[in-house]
Structure 1
Amino acid sequence: MNIKFLGGAGTVTGSKYLITHENQRVLVDCGLYQGVKKLRLRNRGGFPIDPKTINAVILTHAHIDHSGYVPALRKNGFKGPVYCTKGTYDLCKILLPDSGYLQEEDARYANKKKFSRHSPALPLYTEKDAIESLKLFKPVQYHKPLDVANQITATFTPVGHILGSAAVQISAGGKTITFSGDVGRTEDLVMRPPEPLSETDYLVVESTYGNRRHDETDPFEFFKNIINKTMERGGIVLLPSFAVGRAQTILYIIQLLKERNEIPDVPVYLNSPMAITATEIYCNHHKEHRLTAEECEKIDKDTHFVRTPEESIELNNRKYPSIIISASGMASGGWVLHHLKALLPNHRNSVVFVGFQAPGTRGDAMVNGAEQVKIHGAYHPVRAEVSQIDSLSAHGDYVEILDWLDQSNINPKQVFVTHGEPVASDSMRLKLEEKFGWKVEVPDYGEEFNL
């Protein structure tokens, strides 16, 4: 068995891991690169191997940095199955077409305003490409070993990150390698805690928070203060949010604050068709997380769903206090960019980032005090109050992940630390070596190992 790191190495994005056994190739995760331009260019650079030679793709979960390259892989010749859990499949049915649609919209806008260096600007793939790629998906059950290629099996274990997320154990030639995917948190407000892993020869573990703890800010107090302060100024609270997982948690918090009469009963707008459908999917899968069907119904009744570009534009013309939740979570694209252009120049408004902001994103620039940000080819002043809360991250921090691995009671021959910035990954390497005495590597992009 051989592993080659085609993404998620030295960065928190673009996860792709190629497993080769004899003449079979299985790709674990197939994510888009996001963030700094140097990484985004890898999306356009062509796949490092011929997609036609890949027998199967396995997805740990639906987030775009783990699934978003699937349509491009298919477009370039991949014809095999894509295995994932039912929850991941349901979310990919909205995430992938939305990704293609947004790429088309961004290309159209760039061509209209003539701010792209490319003429014409083209999407990496279209909404139609994404819809076609969904025909390759084959939903699977947790805990049930599945033949994914000749003499290669995969088993999925819940890890609590988002709906459908899983660690995946690959077995081939008498050896096993387990991919943690993105690991959730023990005390998450919505998702259940990650389940322990089974014994494995090799382990690939994420390190998004490999060098830091989550802050202990009470999210209810944080949002209560920000919302009340902004409402008193007559402003609008804008929450750039990941459409899957984070948006549902924020809606739940706001709903509870209103029930407790701790914030005014102001309108709440969920301005993302993808986040709206994701919320509906979460409700349909309520047995897989902590929220009851009744709690889901309350959120649904209290939220104004904004489904069209016209409604979104109209939202920017409204002046009275409100709360707007819109994708994307790092302000890297989507409808939230138009809200930022409208709201950032006014000191009465607040922009709240919920979770990690990758280096090079607009979110990262704003939380680090940028006085202006570039959106659609023009600079816009940042006069609104900008804040960030990290305690709602869907990723376990290093203590939570170490505790999870300790509870798993495993003893791998070697561990590979991925999906983190270089400092975070190396810090996780040291912690794993010190706590467990394991042999740990931090692989570079394109590096491969014989197992």
Structure 2
Amino acid sequence: MNTVKIQFLGASGTVTGSKYYVETPELNLMVDCGMFQGLKELRVKNWDPLPINVTQLDYILLTHGHLDHTGYLPRLLKEGFKGKILGTSPTLAITSIILKDSAKIHEEEAEKANKEGYSKHDPALPFYTLKEAERTIQLFSSVENDEWVILSSNVRFRTKYNGHIIGATFIELEIFEKRFVFSGDVGRTEDFLLAPPERPEWADYLFIESTYGNKNHPQEDVEAILAQLVNKTIHQKGNLIIPSFAVERLQSLMYQIWMLYKKNKIPNIPIFVDSPMGNNVLSVFERFPTWHKLSLKEYHSMCDHVNIISSYKETWETIDDPRPKIVIAGSGMVTGGRVLTYLKQLIDVESTIVLLVGYQAEGTRGKQLLEGAHELKLFGKYYPVKAKIEHLESLSAHADQSGLLHWVEALKNVPEKVFLVHGEPTALDTFRSKLVYEHNWQVHIPKLYETIELMV
């Protein structure tokens, strides 16, 4: 018998910072390498060195490109990582875009904090730089989806299509013939742009996300709600601001608004897409057509219908544009990005509508707005919230509780142990109860930095 050690370095008791350290007799690897977002008590942990010997790490396997699954990679290089970073081609393309974009934001925020003196740190430093992000990208190596990759004599893995965002997968890792399944983020069975997720058929040890482990998405008429908000914006000559995740959500919103116009449900209102990262992600859709549902003709028609903003100068021109308009801008939880500039100017205007789409983590500005905050802190100052705040939860790219249960129901065996990750405490506990009640499985909710030993 051999011992495999797994340490939970993130997404344990929270939804962010996914990273799992797997120590085997033959090699050491990590599944995902995300940074913490949201609550300050979590964000400060990003600055702590990991409690592992990073120089002995051979591989990092990525489920998908989101920041909370990849954003710690450049810091890992600073700590001495020299191995390979493996993922599907679209995942590595998305990760490249996200790391470069977040590096620029880190640099800009540090520069701004130093210039305006609102940081407690002197000087304020970027979490990582663009150069460090680019050095990280040089370690990328793509794998073919659904094909086994041999890492050592008794360790191999493969990726399986998982919906959620373009390139996203779950990972099946075989160690001495025992199968460890890491769900990554599970997508929806019905999605405007993506096919339904595939499902694992065997798992000796299952590590599954629980973002919506305690609830099902509401049955909303997304088309009707979007049309009503757009027409209301036109009527009151205001602005509809949609903070959006740059990957998938932004493209999905573009598609849905374009379809509303095509169906004659909204007039030809100006639509501005202001997310340098989102614009780059659009090119990934063009490069990897087999990973989504859009035809090339539909893709180009959709892009032609919106105004893609390419410079900060155009951001200000858009804010000054007096016409009623729709602005889709990053980031989705209002934690950073161009949307902050729009909100700084327009959050205190009563004719502004802010539409939040999808999950809002604890400690984010998006969560504060959702809970009825009367003021919002932006760039070190507080601004009164006079805008109307709306929420469309059914646009989430995550499977809900029913979707997660459906995902595990394809298993042909009873897992020896199930580990619930990537969820807030209430979601984790509710989903644990559900799995125990419906399947009588052995379920464990790991704590941050907990290490478990498994015999294989």
The alpha-carbon deviation at position 149 of structure 1 amounts to 4.7
- Amino acid in structure 2 at the alignment position of 1:296: Y
Counterpart CA distance in 1 for 2:67 and 2:171 is: 18
Name the counterpart of 2:180.
177
Secondary structure of the residue aligned to 1:391 is helix
How far apart in 2 are the matches of 1:148 and 1:419?
26
Shift of 1:408: 3.6
- Return the offset for 1:359: 0.8
Answer with 325-334 or 191-200: which moved more: 191-200
The 2-side partners of 1:266 and 1:95 are apart by: 29
- Contact 1:197/1:410 (<8 A) preserved: no
Q: What is the SS of the residue equivalent to 1:170? A: strand
- Partner Cα distance (2:29, 2:19) in 1: 10
The answer as to 2:264 corresponding to 1:257 is no
Q: Does 1:68 align with 2:74?
A: no
- The structural deviation recorded for 1:285 is 1.8
**Counterpart in 2 of 1:366?**
369
In the aligned structure 1, how far is the partner of 2:154 from the partner of 2:320? 59
Q: Distance in 1 between matches of 2:152 and 2:354?
A: 47
Does 2:211 align with 1:221?
Answer: no
Aligned to 1:14: 17
**1:320-360 deviations in whole A, cap 9, x for unaligned?**
11111110000001111111111101101111010111011
TM-score (norm 1): 0.98
Tell me the distance in 2 between the aligned counterparts of 1:318 and 1:75. 44
What letter corresponds to residue 15 of structure 2 in structure 1?
V
What pairs with 1:130-279 in structure 2 (closer than 5 Å)? 130-149=133-152, 151-279=154-282
SS of structure 2 residue aligned to 1:182 = coil
Unaligned runs of 5+ in 1: none
The answer to whether the Cα contact below 8 Å between 2:161 and 2:167 also exists between their aligned partners in 1 is: yes
Contact conserved, 1:56 with 1:149, CA < 8 A, in 2? no
Within 1, Cα distance between the matches of 2:124 and 2:155? 41
Question: Partner residue of 1:352?
Answer: 355
SS at structure 2 position matched to 1:407: coil
1:103 aligns with 2:92: no
2:331 corresponds to which residue?
Answer: 328
Cα distance between partner residues in 2 of 1:271 and 1:122 = 26
Aligned partner of 2:184: which letter?
A: G
Show CA shifts across 1:74-98 (max 9, x none): 1221000001011101111211110
Distance 1:442 1:47 in 2: 21
Q: Is this contact kept in 2: 1:329–1:353, CA < 8 A?
A: yes
| Aligned mates of 1:42, 1:25 — CA distance in 2 | 22
TM-score by length of 2: 0.97
Runs of 4+ in 1 over 6 A off after TM superposition: none
Letter in 2 for 1:228: N
- In the aligned structure 2, how far is the partner of 1:16 from the partner of 1:287? 28
Deviation digits for residues 180-205 of structure 1 (CA, Å, limit 9, x no counterpart)? 00000101111111112131210000
Number of aligned residue pairs: 451
Residue 438 of structure 1 pairs with residue 425 of structure 2: no
Aligned equivalent of 2:42, options 24, 39, 57: 39
Post-superposition offset of 1:53: 1.5
- 1:284: Cα distance to partner? 2.4
Decide whether the 8 Å contact of 2:61 with 2:85 is kept in 1. yes
The offset of 1:150, in angstroms, is 5.6
- Deviation string 1:269-311 (CA, Å, 9 cap, x unpaired) is 1101110110121132222112222211111111111111121
Provide the rounded CA distance (Å) in 2 between the counterparts of 1:420 and 1:203.
15
What residue number does 1:413 align with?
416
SS in 2 for 1:13: coil
What is the CA–CA distance in structure 1 between the aligned matches of 2:70 and 2:153, rounded to whole Å?
23
Distance 1:447 1:23 in 2: 22
Q: CA RMSD in A?
A: 1.1
Is the 1:237–1:323 contact (alpha carbons within 8 Å) kept by the matching residues of 2? yes
Encode CA deviations 1:133-180: one digit per residue, 9 max, x unaligned.
001011101111112356321111111111111110111123221000
The equivalent of 1:393 in structure 2 is: 396
In 1, Cα distance between equivalents of 2:109 and 2:413: 46
Alignment-derived partner of residue 297 in structure 2: 294
Q: Counterpart of 2:28?
A: 25
SS in 1 for 2:198: coil
Flag the 1:402–1:14 CA change in 2: closer, same or farther, 3 A.
same
User: For residues 62 and 408 of structure 1, what CA distance do their matches in structure 2 show?
Assistant: 26
Unmatched segments (≥5 aa) in structure 2? none
Q: Matches of 1:365 and 1:68 in 2, distance apart?
A: 23
CA contact (8 A) 1:24 1:150 kept: no
After superposition, where does 1:43-62 map in structure 2 within 5 Å? 43-62=46-65
> In structure 1, how many angstroms separate the alpha carbons of the residues matched to 2:361 and 2:20?
21
Is the counterpart of residue 116 in structure 1 residue 119 in structure 2?
A: yes
CA contact (8 A) 2:360 2:367 kept: yes
